[in-house]
Amino acid sequence: MERILLGTYTKNTSEGIYSIDLVDGHLVNLSLVAKAQNPTYLDYD
């Protein structure tokens, strides 16, 4: 299983940064990780 983090524009219903899992070629388990306004990139250390 791989985990993907993605930022979303928050103009409508999105709330910020989400986590989603990749299992057998399918995206599953979308969950909100952090509320942020229009996160355009992620810095991971």
What pTM does this model have?
0.78
User: 26 lies in a domain?
Assistant: yes
pLDDT at 34: 94
CA atoms within 13 A on the CB side of 29: 11
In a domain, residue 22? The reply is: yes
Structural domain span for residue 17: 2-35
Residue 40 lies in a domain: no
Helix, strand or coil, per DSSP, at residue 39: coil
Q: What is the mean pLDDT of residues 17-31?
A: 94
Question: Is 41 a domain residue?
Answer: no
Band (pLDDT 50/70/90 cuts) for residue 38 is very high
Name residues whose C-beta falls within 8 Å of residue 36's C-beta, 6 or more positions apart in sequence: 7, 10, 16, 17
Mean pLDDT in residue range 17-45:
91
